[in-house]
Structure 1
């Protein structure tokens, strides 16, 4: 498949790595790097819709899955209206768990799934159920990725603190002021730009997990989303303002967002420093995967999610289901983003790793 776009002088290795990614693709992808406000890598190619052979274009939008969490973490830090040390019930009367806002943002609240019949697209209903739910552990004592409930909880906290929906806050705090092509609650007029998601053969979730009992919990957490092509490609999913995973955007805008953050824009220095220091770390109590979180952001970890250790010191951002990777390398003064519509299992996906290694070698 043809590589489209451009790279600045000295970044040819990144173009070559992206060409390798496309050569092995059933779908499409884009990779962007913005450094000091300048796009030094802006590449795309492949198919936005393999079934109808629609090509990936420079403005193709794609569901970002958990890359959404980094966007929402930025909104939380920019508004600075949620005290991470405050009990959740201080903002949300009737919330029964003895959890702080920091526990929610750092994935230690012990509420990794909604117990009871629910529609994952209904933020308010899921939040109401979570408010009455007993945590699986004492909040703050264990870390485990709250794949979808992070979004229900944070959206409700923001709604109560500001009186506005999380999608409105993304638009008013990030997209409009900084001209970012990012959307939470994607409007109908953008449907024609959407990439169609597809799962690679053998796609699986939580590939490091062997325990059958905890596997049942993981399946419960993701049921009806990553196991359903229909749901993940539905207009209803894109319209839902799911703060954990339904944002759409371009690699160019995600890379620009993280470059802005790394240069002290969008979020003032003190709130950003607080949001990007370690608030939780350890092996996921459910998934067995090493984790390290700030206040909603993923941080550099022992398995190299954010690239070579020579570059990833101080890195923050958020990955997304199926291969997306978005973040900042503050020491290198850049933001990066890899977006794809072809979901691959973590243990069989080296695309973003290859691109970040080439980027490191180019600096």
Structure 2
């Protein structure tokens, strides 16, 4: 390990030869942050770790930040494995696995459409109680009878707090196991990843508590100027007015590990999980075939997200990060998280990327510095004569 000092920031960790510019960019974005958040960044290229950096108060390589919706990538990796194994069929209806889901006109929705955030059941009227929001079984039971907010299958919109519970109930009905149990058995434990959908109590000292967003006056003004309907779809999907920071910092929530937003893990683990989808990792064969990767990365539905207004947002369960980072290949797949985390695999160049931060980034979702960091990573990888 070596420390690097730049702009008053001390960056810990290592980079491979040719990736020094990534370390410099990591230091630069932290130095520019008005309230330095503490971050981790890890990148694998063709299975070899080429970037492994961290900085900030109380942050080390083994810290376990909350990764919020980057959890969805872990959950839907399990679904991809079950499809790959022939246990789940993307074109069967959800109700054929889970009959209660057919209520209120949802009977024709397929698993493929559900994974594309097309069900229309983004939440419940009146919202979930905080204890309910942490329990996937409770979420699924309530959503089974919920009327959709648009015609199922015809549009898409981010199922922020509930998609993992919905897909997880399908998994449970077919296998008798939860997504969390299958992730532990098939992914986390065998590949030695510090990424947990259900944080063990003994790891509590390694948890890195999330800090609230601390926007600048300019950001506050920008946020105040944005239209927001307290009864609109965004409010339903994000269960407004949930205090997400206080909620995820509650040990009982992390112990349950809700499959949409409840995971904790390091950047090393996020990047390692995606590296394991691309090729041999930790002495084990790749998790996914090229065919499965292509299927789950392919655009589910073109158009504008009814909840977030993002364009062409989803593959199957995974986000399509090329929409944010155009230097990535069309087949890249991954997921960001509310405090600023970002993780993905790009089969076109063998990159597996993991980024975490402890303070919420404005305005939420993938932290804006990821644009610069991803660009630096891709440039370094493209300049590597050996292909790592």
Give the C-alpha shift of residue 229 in structure 1.
Answer: 3.0
Matched, 1:39 2:39: no
Matched, 1:85 2:91: yes
Matched, 1:175 2:188: yes
Q: 1:33-82: CA deviations, max 9, x gaps? A: 001211100001102xxxxxxx2111001111110111111111112222
Q: Is the 8 A contact 1:31 1:337 kept in 2?
A: yes
Matched, 1:315 2:332: yes
Partner of 2:294: 273
Change beyond 3 A, Cα 1:156–1:283: same
Give the C-alpha shift of residue 353 in structure 1.
Answer: 0.9
Q: 1:246-304: CA deviations, max 9, x gaps? A: 11111111112212212371123333322122212321113222232121011145xx4
Give the C-alpha shift of residue 26 in structure 1.
Answer: 2.9
Q: Is the 8 A contact 2:67 2:339 kept in 1?
A: no
Matched, 1:65 2:68: yes
Partner of 1:246: 262
Q: Is the 8 A contact 1:298 1:318 kept in 2?
A: yes
Partner of 1:361: 379
Partner of 1:128: 141
Q: Is the 8 A contact 1:107 1:146 kept in 2?
A: yes
Partner of 1:50: none
- What does residue range 315-334 of structure 1 map to in structure 2 within 5 Å? 315-334=332-351
Change beyond 3 A, Cα 1:226–1:209: farther
Give the C-alpha shift of residue 314 in structure 1.
Answer: 1.9
Q: Is the 8 A contact 2:233 2:306 kept in 1?
A: no
Cα distance in 1 for residues equivalent to 2:299 and 2:224: 23
Change beyond 3 A, Cα 1:313–1:275: closer
Give the C-alpha shift of residue 228 in structure 1.
Answer: 4.2
Q: 1:59-118: CA deviations, max 9, x gaps? A: 001111110111111111112222121111111022121311112111011011123554
Give the C-alpha shift of residue 208 in structure 1.
Answer: 12
- More displaced 10-residue stretch of structure 1: 213-222 or 70-79: 213-222
Partner of 1:102: 112
Give the C-alpha shift of residue 217 in structure 1.
Answer: 3.2
Q: 1:137-162: CA deviations, max 9, x gaps? A: 11111110000110220121111111
Cα distance in 1 for residues equivalent to 2:176 and 2:225: 40
Secondary structure in structure 1 of the residue aligned to 2:173: helix
Gaps of 5+ in 2: 1-8, 281-285, 382-388
- More displaced 10-residue stretch of structure 1: 155-164 or 114-123: 114-123
Give the C-alpha shift of residue 207 in structure 1.
Answer: 6.5
Gaps of 5+ in 1: 48-54
- More displaced 10-residue stretch of structure 1: 344-353 or 179-188: 344-353
Moved beyond 6 Å, runs of 4+: 206-209
Give the C-alpha shift of residue 199 in structure 1.
Answer: 1.9
Q: Is the 8 A contact 1:214 1:287 kept in 2?
A: no
Change beyond 3 A, Cα 1:286–1:224: closer
Cα distance in 2 for residues equivalent to 1:63 and 1:239: 12
Cα distance in 2 for residues equivalent to 1:82 and 1:345: 38
Partner of 2:314: 293
Cα distance in 2 for residues equivalent to 1:140 and 1:46: 44
Cα distance in 2 for residues equivalent to 1:33 and 1:138: 40
Q: Is the 8 A contact 1:207 1:345 kept in 2?
A: no
Cα distance in 2 for residues equivalent to 1:333 and 1:295: 20
Q: Is the 8 A contact 2:73 2:318 kept in 1?
A: yes
Cα distance in 2 for residues equivalent to 1:272 and 1:280: 17
- More displaced 10-residue stretch of structure 1: 310-319 or 175-184: 310-319
Cα distance in 2 for residues equivalent to 1:207 and 1:142: 27
Q: Is the 8 A contact 2:237 2:307 kept in 1?
A: no
TM-score, with structure 2 as normaliser: 0.84
* Matched residue count: 351
